[in-house]
Each structure stands twice: as C-alpha cells, then as structure tokens.
Chain A
Amino acid sequence: MSQEGSSDWSEEQWRGKMLLRQLRLRCTVIMNLAQSLEDGGGFATVTPKALCRLIRHTANVLDRSLADTPHDQLANVNYFLCSIAQHLRFVERSRTVNTPWSMIQATEHFLRQQVGANSRFIIRPQWAHNYSLTGEFVEAYRTEIASMAWIDPKAWEESSAERPVDERVYCIAFPRVERLNALLHANWGHELGHIVAARWIHGRFGQLWNGEEPDMKARIRQTVEQGLGASMNQALFKDLIINQYVSEYTDSAMELARDGLTELICDAIGVHLLGPSALAACLEFSAGFSLDENPLRCDRYPPWRYRLRLMLEACQENEDFLEEEATTSPKAAVYPGETVAPFWEWLREAKRLVTQTPDLQMLHRDGMDNVSVREAYTLVENHWRRIRGEALDMLLGGAKRPYKLRERLTTIDDLVAKLENDIPPNEVDTWPDSSPAAFEDIINAAWVFKARKLAQDPEWGCPKDLERLYRLVLKAIEASFVHSVFGPRLARLDKP
C-alpha cells in the first residue's frame, strides 16, 4: 500500500508484475509434476493418482484465472498454490516401495468400511516418528476456491469423471522406521478417528463453543485483570489492550479444547474399532515420552496419561479386565483364559499409570499463564461423556458396535495357535471349513501373542523374533483380504 515518490509506481503494481510471472510458471510446473507423478505409477491403490488429478485441475483453474486476479490477492493465490504443491509429496511417498504394501489395500478397505465408500486413503511413511492424518483435501480446496471472488466456482466444480469431486481424500502417515510393525499400526484406528472427530468438530463444536464462550471470557477477564493489577491504570486504550489479552487467552482455550477433544475422540474411536490393541499400541508408543506435559508445550495435544486414562475407561467398559486378577479369580478359569491372560496383565500396567494424577494437577493449576489450559480442560471434562457418545454415533451402521475381544476368544485362540507355529493367522478353522480372519482379530491376536511370549520367555523379543511376528501378521492381513474379496468371486466361477 505504500507509495514511493512517483505517482505511477506502487508496491502493489511491483508485486503484481513480479508475482504474476512467477505464478504462471508455478501453475505450469505443478500441473506437470502432478501429471508425471500420476504417469509414473507404482501405487498400491488408485487414490494417489486421484489426488494428482485434483491438484492438477486446481492449479489449472488458478492458472486460467490469473489474468482476472486482483493484484492485492496474488500473495494469497501464491500461498494456496504452494500449499497444494506440498500435497504432492504425499503421492510421491506412497509408492509401494515405501509402504507395507501387503496391508495397504486391506487397510484402505477396512477404513472405508468404517467411514463410507466415498472416502479414499493415501497411506505413506514419514521420517518423523509419529502417526498423522491429513485431510480432507477436496472440501478444503473447494472452500479456498469459493473464497476467491474473481473465480467462478463452476470452473472448479465442473464435472470430470476422472477427478474426485464427491469423494473425500485423506492421507495417513506412519513412522518410516515402523514400516513392518503391523502391531503398532493399530494406531491407524486413531487416525481414522480423525475423520469422525472432524465431523463432530465441524458439526457440533461451534455450538458448544458458542454456549461456553461468554462465561469463559468473563472468568478469563477476571484472571487477566488480577494478573495485570495496577500496571494498566494509566494506559491509553486500556480496555482495548485488556480485550487483546482476554481474546488471546480465550482463543488459546478454544484451540486447546478443540484440539484436545479431537485427539480424545480419535482415541475413543481407536478403542471402539480395534479394542485393546489400540490401548496397547498407545501404551507402547507413549512409553518413550513424558506422560504429563502441558498441552501448550506440545502442539495442544492432551497429556499421554490423560489419554491413556480415557482409553482405559473405554476398554474397561467392553472388556472387564481390570476388576480381578486373571490367575486368582474363579472367573479366570473361563475368562480371559490362558491365552489372553498375559495380555490382560500387560494392559493392567496402564491402570497403575493412570491412578497417579500429575497430569490433572498440571491441567488445573491456577495462574494467568495456565488460564487457557484450565478453562479448556474444564470444558472437556464437563462434556466428555456426551461428546464421546455423539462421536461414536457418527460411525457407520456396522461399525457402531464396539470390538470386544472377550467375545472373540475362540477365534483369538485359533489365530494365536497359528502364530505359535509360524503360520500366518489369516484364517480361522481348517480348510475347507475355513473363513478369512477379520483385520481386527488379526491385530488383537498379534498383541495377545506378543504379551504371551514376553511372559513365557524373558529372552523372547529380540529384533529377529519381532520381525518374524510382523511379517507373519502382514502376510496374514494380505491373505485374509485376498480371501475375503476374491474368494466369493472364485467360488461363483467354480459353480457349474
């Protein structure tokens, strides 16, 4: 907006000339990159190619409208263009050579069963040692295009059979060094939960926030005024400055509550879909980190201990494994049984962890510097049970029922016995009466087997033992998927 001497020069014009040329080139490069990645192929599913087409099409629409773009909006177009270009990395890293390809199709199939056939997933490794979900791409691009008044949204929406318009595209990332660790991939249940959590957040959080914000703002204002004391008395625009403080803390509280609830919903979905294996994976993963860290220091994630406590409560509702010692109770003769008992004992470690409460003390500490955390978690705690129920209710019909390992004991016994004999646990019973094992059963059986081996033999658990287990499980997931999808088709072909 600044002017420099001459009346025919302006910063905006300078920026316009410079950026317009760059943006034309950038659009072309992105379209070409998307095309060459798509042509290069090597993907386990069609989803990465679909994202390539979406990005190519979006860059094309931006390119065609560059001539009509106001100069003061070119920087925003630049931001949008650079952000969609970054999304091509998801495509590049999802090539089969980088993924546990044997379970990609089965995993996408399982994920779509839970959230709908119009959802597509790219599964790719990342060097960061954590799991994540990015998305949803189509709706995000649509919202951004619609905000650009100089683009006719129809130009972007116009139908193309090859481009995902009515579909939802997500990318799930897993830690590269855990590529083979199918047991830890029980965390994918949590990542899938992000789709449901996003539905809840976008559909219901606004209403919740709208009702909570006025009282919260009043409490925060009181804390701020106490905290600032007399230092503000002489300030010009005192009320504006206090409002700035209060609005920052209120915004921070909203983000902490929204992001905290998101993670807690995801954990609840993970336990709901994959049962105790989700808790086991989280327990193992969290062992490497501080359990009671302030969310303000950790990208607004709830403390691990807090998450484990809620997961444990959800698991306990379904499994009843905390009440009695497996080896001493009369009930233990039939439940959980010899095979599962070591796994139950392994999970009881979580109960010991969460009976301590340094996380709660940290979250509810007084003081102006902690006011946003305290307010956010008061909101979470006041509404959690209802929110969890609403989120679980958003799962599709078949997925509404929780996975209960206690109802699968015969199957788990069978699958664990196969693992004991170095056989992939891909089916239950014996041919020709066999049926493909479910994804959830395979993952849970693998955890049961691992806990059992660790209890039986302190020497078990070297990298060679674990890699053998991982490979058996990956093979089982692949074979069971092939069996369940192609078996019925082959049977129809065999009929005279």
Chain B
Amino acid sequence: MADLLQTARLFEVGTRLQTAAANLMSVAQGGKPDSNALKWAGDFLLRVDWNSNAMPKGGVDGGLAVSATSARPKFYASLVRIGPKLGQVGIRSEEQVYDFLRSIYGFLQSGGSQVLDLSADHFKLASEFLHILSQSIMVDLSNNGLPRRRSVLALGEFVA
C-alpha cells in the first residue's frame, strides 16, 4: 500500500526543519526568528537524539516517536557529515558535540529566547545541520527527481 499520510508526515518533517534552518540562519545574521517554527523543531530533535536524555514537553506522542525513528539514521549521518566543520567552531570531542546540540535544543525549545553561550558561527552550523537533515529526508521522498531503479524482472509499477 502507498500510505500517503506516512509520506505526508515525512514531508512535514522535511519542510518544518527547513523552516527552522532558515530561522537559525536569520538569527546568525542578527534577525528575529519565528518562535513557533523553532519550538516544533526543538521538540522533534529532542525525540530524535538518543543522547539528549530529555523528553519533550507534552508527554508521549506515538506519531512523533515513529517520525523520530525514521529521521534518526539521517540525523546521525548528517552529524557525521558536518563533522569537519565542528572543529572550526571549537568542538573537538563527542561530549562537546552533545553540549552544542543541547544548547541548540534549548534555544529552539525556548522559541529563540534562551541564547546561552551560542555564537553566530554556532547558529550558522546548526542551520546547516538542519538544512542537510531536511534535504536528506526530502531526497528520500523524491529520489532527487530521478526514476527509482527497478530490475526488469521484478514486479512493480513501471508506467506511471
């Protein structure tokens, strides 16, 4: 079955994370963020990151737990992908990575009011991280505009 709602929910995650990424970039450049967009992303990322050791406000949401499990491999892959840039903002150990992420979650969850020790470079990096994560979710959905490969002998829908 093609469950369009499951696809729609992943699309929702991709779109909302991109909105949050744009807001973080705006903050890095001295702009004012849309607090709703940040809060949603903060709650979601807390669910995704096993090391956050925090439950989002509002208790257990089964739907969010499922979307978080789907996004998690891309979350860690995106973190590994920005690995070289972490060093450029002074992050050189796993513990510092988790501290950086915790500060970002705090900022997102507060709707942009809790800045703590985050610099413009931190916001830029966080924006890039969310952009990569959002894009990898969307690429999964769209296959980047390319036809999905199927073996000639396999059963499947060839003609759209």
Contact = CB atoms under 8 A, between A and B. Distances in A.
Interface of A: 1, 70, 72-73, 75-76, 79-80, 82-83, 86, 89, 126-130, 132-137, 139-141, 143-144, 146-149, 191, 194, 197-198, 201-202, 204-210, 213, 217, 236-241, 243-244, 247-248, 250-251, 254-255, 258, 262, 266
Contact of A134 (B1, B18, B77): B1
Main secondary structure of the interface of A (DSSP, over half): helix
A236 B11 CA distance: 33
Contacts of A217: 50
Contacts of B21: 72
Top 8 A-B pairs, shortest CB-CB distance: A206-B62, A140-B4, A244-B76, A147-B12, A247-B72, A143-B8, A140-B8, A248-B73
Interface string B48-77: 001100000000111111100110110111
Interface of B: 1-5, 7-9, 11-12, 14-16, 18-19, 21-22, 34, 36-37, 50-51, 60-66, 69-70, 72-73, 75-77, 79-80, 83, 94, 97, 128, 131, 138, 141-142, 155-160
Contacts of B79: 240
A205 B155 contact: no
A255 B7 CA distance: 13
Nearest to B92: A236
Contact of B65 (A141, A146, A201, A209): A209
Nearest to A146: B12
Contacts of A1: 128, 131
Contact of B97 (A126, A209, A213, A240): A240
A143 B8 CA distance: 6
A79 B142 contact: yes
A251 B69 contact: yes
A237 B16 contact: no
A127 B159 contact: yes
Contacts of B66: 205-206, 209, 254, 258
Contacts of B63: 202, 206
A228 to B, nearest CB: 15
Nearest to A128: B157
B86 to A, nearest CB: 9
A153 to B, nearest CB: 13
A208 B9 CA distance: 19
A198 B131 CA distance: 30
A188 B87 CA distance: 57
A75 B15 CA distance: 10
A144 B60 contact: no
Contacts of A143: 5, 8-9, 11-12
- Residue of A82, A83, A89, A241 with highest tally of chain B CB at under 10 A: A83
A344 to B, nearest CB: 31
Nearest to A139: B5
B66 to A, nearest CB: 5
Given A147-B16, A251-B69, A206 B61 contact: yes
13 contacts: A127-B158, A128-B155, A128-B156, A135-B2, A136-B5, A139-B4, A198-B1, A206-B66, A208-B62, A210-B60, A236-B83, A244-B76, A262-B1
B37 A132 contact: no
Contacts of B160: 86, 89
A151 to B, nearest CB: 11
A76 B62 contact: no
A75 B136 CA distance: 13
B2 A243 contact: no
A143 B12 CA distance: 7
B62 A207 contact: yes
Nearest to A202: B5
- Residue of B14, B66, B131, B138 with highest tally of chain A CB at under 10 A: B66
A140 B157 contact: no
A237 B97 contact: yes
A205 to B, nearest CB: 7
Contacts of A202: 5, 63
A247 B73 contact: yes
Nearest to A77: B15
A209 B21 CA distance: 29
B19 A149 contact: yes
Contacts of B156: 128
Nearest to B83: A237
A396 B12 CA distance: 31
A126 B157 contact: yes
A250 B60 CA distance: 19
Given A70-B22, A209-B66, A239-B94, A244 B77 contact: yes
Contacts of A254: 66, 69-70
Contacts of A210: 60, 62, 65
Contact of B50 (A133, A134, A191, A243): A243
